[in-house]
Every structure is written in C-alpha cells, then in structure tokens.
Chain A
C-alpha cells in the first residue's frame, strides 16, 4: 500500500462513490446544525417532501442569535432572531434530530458542545453550515464548513459531493515560550502564509509544540484553519485526545471503546507520505501576536508598530490603506500605545475552560481598568458551570468582568452583544473583518491572556511584561 497522510486515510474510509472525473461522494458521520444556515435547508426538504436520512447523526443547537444576558429566558427582543430560533426549534422536533435548546445547560456554541458531548470523535467526517467547523479537526477528524445547499444535501443523503483537496503539513518544532499560546501559533501561521495560503489544501498541524498542547489549545489552532484559507485543519489523535474523549456522553464505551481505540491509533500520517506543501515554524520564535488591520493575516508581534501601506505589494497596498482608515490607525504608532474600549473573551476559538483559566491567571491580583467594558462569554453552559465550580467565575466578576451566558456573542454581532461605531475591542475571536463585531467596530484579535492584559491596562499590552516583570499589587 502506498503511504498515506491522515487526511488520505479518513477520506478513503468515507468514500462512497468516485466518478471518473474525480468528483466523489463522501459519507458524513456527524452533521452539526445551527439556526442561521439551516432554515432554508429544512424548508427545501419540506418542499421536496424529503426526510432527514440520519437524524441520529444530526445535532442541532442555537448559538449565533441567542442573547447572552443572564435573564435571557425572558425571550428575544429582535423579531427576526426570534423567528430563526423558533424555526430551529420546530425543525429539530419535526425532523427528530438531537437538540439542545437555549434552556438546556448543555447549550452552547456548536463547535464547543460537539467535542464536549463526545459527538466529535477521531477519524470522523464532520460538517456544519459554519466555517469554523474546522475546530473539530483537533481530534483527527475531517471537519469543515459547508453552505446551506450542502446542509440540505447532507440532511437528505448523509453524504457530500466533494473533490479531494491537496495535503499541506504545518510543523511547529520545539516548545512554546512562556506567555505564548495556541492562539499565537494559529495567528503566526496565518500571518506568514496569508488568508489564501491554505486555499485548496487540508492542513495537518504537527510537531512538538502541537503535541504539547491540550485539546482546548489544539481546537484553537484548528479553528482558524479556515482563516488561512484551508478547507480543514487536522491534528493526529494521541493519548491527549483519547483522555479527553473517554467517558463523554456520546463516546463509545466498553468493547466498542477498545475497538475504536485500536482504529484511532492507526490515524496518523505515514512517515513517507506525500505532502504537496510543507511549512515549518520554530516555536521558540513565536511571540504574543495581535492584529492591526481588517484581515486575519494582518498579524504583528505586540512590540511592533502599525505598518505603512507602502510596505506591502500589489493589491495589499490599497487593502492596507483602507484597513488603516477603518481602524483609525496611523503608520508608525506603537501597537502597545493603542487604547481599547472593550474586551471580549469567548467564541468557538477561545471560549473553553482552559481559556477562562488563562484569563483568571493573568487577572490574579489585578483589575479591569476603570472605563473598560470587559465581558466573558463561556462557550457552553457546561463551561460556565465548570468555571463557577472552580471559583474562576467569582474571581473574574470581582476583577470587573461581566459574566455572561453561552453563545457566539460578540464574535459576530448577530445578537445584542455588539460594538458601537468606532469602538475598539481586544477580542479572542477569529475575524477582524470590517463590521464583524458591529458596524464600524474595530477588532484586534489576540489570545485570552493578551486580552486579559489589555483589560488591565486599557491598551494593547504584552502579557509577559505584566505577569513576569511586575509583582501584582
């Protein structure tokens, strides 16, 4: 047998049919559904009198539109949002799929609850009408976003028409220095390869720094594979993965666990597998990063300065000019001198328990600066409950953070959590596009630790200076 990559192995295990022209039919093991990209798909099924082929493999949860106020059970003010949530509720019940309504403590961001409930397992194919489905690749599953027409296709047939992507390896050698996290890894990659660097590829992340990450950190890395243009990001499963999965509600048990484990242990790229593209990073050279512009590739180390548009080439010159105007920044300004109004901790990128622990660590003996709005939005009801149990929630509230209910929140401003025009946010989310967090809002992406540091000082800050060179007051 010819050597294979992890992607090749998962692809081959799910190939239902291949046409002579290379167009393939791939079986889908898990279909995650949320309220924004599914109503038209369910409507399509109804119009054609079609059923959901595998409701037991379909999991629905509302996340994008849900308010995150603690009293949200009172209802949703925005009529369109309410209609979308009602549609999901009706569709989930009519078609008999698994469903976690807003009132369920297991509700949360779709990409947080899939792994949390053990729906996400190594070697699976997982799709969702959401580009950050790449998150699940952290388990060594082939996971990617699809459009609504494809959502309808998967609902009806449990398959997807695909052509195979190319294989790209991103290796991070060595260990991360203190103060540098999974978010910095994924931002460093996009900063170097660009937002289209992964187009046409499935990326496998590997190397010592990746192996040393927790599952939470691995999910953060894979989550932003799409921001680098890749169809999916993958990390080969190992003991860290198996430890995380074991015992979760929908993970296999007993003899099936043993059988699954035997197969999962074969899920790694063969030594002499062919790679169409290889990129290597030295973990020791990665530093805390922030974005300055309106594309996730606009990444710089925190001790850098806002770049001049003329320092770029081609279409990026005008893009950078436009970005600086939108962001209200002047070339040459030190990133550390940029003052912020808001701090957002949450999203499918950084809304997991480890992220909240990271924030709590930075906030030890410190407070959110007067006048800064700082919010923490746990990724799921269970993450929220765990943080409360660990005492993190109370500490963070005492430090000046708002402690909110689970949802996508300010990552994309489809719910009441939004930036006002001109407001500047240190955000742990994944996209700094124009208007993403609210019309006219200005987003700087960074790790939870860096966002916490910004909350303390009121400006973009190197977390290492805060936590290493000074004794908390």
Chain B
C-alpha cells in the first residue's frame, strides 16, 4: 500500500451532504477487474453530460481544481455500497485526502486500505476549510498525518483524530494481510478451539 505522511495541495470544495458511492463511481464502471483507471469516471454523472462532454461548472472540471489532491465535502460522505471502486476512483484521480463532518463506515475503512486519509472534523471546522478551499488554486492546504493537523492557506491549524493502528499502517504503507499472517498461530488455535465448541460451523 502507498504511504501517506504529509500532503500539500489544492483542496476542492464539494458542499453536498450524503455523497453516495453511486455518485462517486456509477455502477457501469464496476465491471472492471482492475483497481486502476477509474479516475476519469470519478463523479461521472455530475462531471459529464449525456453526450459525454464535461459539465463546465462541476468543481473538478474547473481549471483551478483539476489538479486537486484534497476534497472537502458534506456530512455522511461515501454512504451506500461497499464498492472499493469509490476510493480507487478518488485515488486514481489524484485525491489522497477527503475531509468531511462524517463518513459512512465501509467507505471510511476502504480509504485506509488504499493510502487515502479520510478526516472527520466538526461541522464548523469543515465549514472553515470549505471556505479556504473555495479560494481556488492559490490556496493550498497542508495535511500532516504524523502531527494530525490540517493547515489552511492562512496558516490556521486544525487538529484531527485518527485511529492509532490505521495511522501506523498509513504512515508506513503496511499491508494488512502481511500483518495478520504474523498472528497465524492465534488464528490456528482459535480454529481448533472453535471446531470443538461449534463443530457445525
């Protein structure tokens, strides 16, 4: 997995609540058997019209936000399906950090598995970052995972919480499966105990 430590980049404002996974990557793009190449279809139905042309006023189509690396969004971001195609599309576009008042559970998990940092902050702080993001490409935000801070273009510092295990994995780019294999003995002994207690499983 790709590491995430520090990121300074353009933040795109997407002030919509309940952004669901069908908006992030519509179902017709779930037919791929690869993890890459989905960035072009990120937010497809908002980003392109019925003829496949770009919708000029959609935020990621505007010149100042085409290279955004941070997304600031509304409450309950990523709700809906478990499709990991959603974080794959976000990452393939070039966004490595999403900031919102809250996230849907599965989407939140999926981000960490793909080197994307989702940051949940109180509404007032998201509002402040949204205003900062609205300044365009000259307003660059900095996200520092080690220090657990977001710094606005004006130098205002906002602290965020992150699960220590997930932080450790992101900072070091660790593979979950390899980590779990280190606990193989515990899995073996659980399995033999469970086979005694619940043989029908």
Contacts and interface: CB of A to CB of B under 8 A. Distances in A.
18 contacts: A17-B186, A25-B186, A145-B106, A149-B114, A153-B177, A153-B180, A156-B177, A195-B79, A199-B103, A200-B105, A256-B200, A260-B200, A322-B16, A414-B31, A433-B20, A433-B80, A435-B26, A435-B27
Interface string A251-291: 01000110110010000000000000000000000000000
A346 interface: no
A240 interface: no
Nearest to A156: B177
Contact of B82 (A57, A84, A131): A131
B201 A124 contact: yes
Contacts of B83: 36-37, 147
A23 interface: yes
A189 to B, nearest CB: 16
Contacts of A39: 33
Contacts of B33: 39-40, 43, 83-84, 87
A259 B198 CA distance: 8
Given A145-B82, A149-B114, A319-B17, A50 B23 contact: no
Contacts of A152: 177
Contacts of A147: 82-84, 87, 106, 109-110, 113
A23 B163 contact: yes
A225 to B, nearest CB: 11
Give the interface residue-count category, chain B.
Answer: 35 or more
Contacts of B201: 29, 57, 121, 124
Contact of A436 (B22, B32, B104, B109): B22
A431 B22 CA distance: 10
A320 B44 CA distance: 21
B22 A146 contact: no
Given A21-B164, A315-B16, A50 B177 contact: yes
Nearest to B185: A17
A149 B84 CA distance: 8
B161 interface: no
A196 B76 contact: yes
Nearest to A161: B176
Nearest to A152: B177
A431 B83 CA distance: 14
Contacts of A181: none
A421 interface: yes
A195 B18 contact: yes
A148 B194 contact: no
Nearest to A48: B177
A260 B198 contact: yes
Contacts of A413: 27-28
Interface string A125-163: 000011101000000000011111110110011110101
Given A23-B165, A124-B201, A259-B200, A146 B26 contact: no
B18 A295 contact: yes
Interface string A395-433: 000000000000000001110000001000000000101
A220 B129 CA distance: 40
Contact of B27 (A50, A133, A436): A436
Nearest to B76: A196
Given A121-B200, A147-B113, A153-B180, A439 B31 contact: no
Interface in B147-201: 163-165, 176-177, 179-181, 183, 186-187, 190-191, 194, 198-201
A62 to B, nearest CB: 12
B177 A229 contact: no
Contacts of A175: none
Interface in A18-57: 19, 21, 23, 25, 27, 29, 36-37, 39-40, 43, 48, 50, 57
Contact of A229 (B23, B34, B79, B114): B79
A65 B180 contact: no
A193 interface: no
Nearest to B20: A433
B75 interface: yes
B114 A19 contact: no
B63 interface: no
A463 B163 CA distance: 48
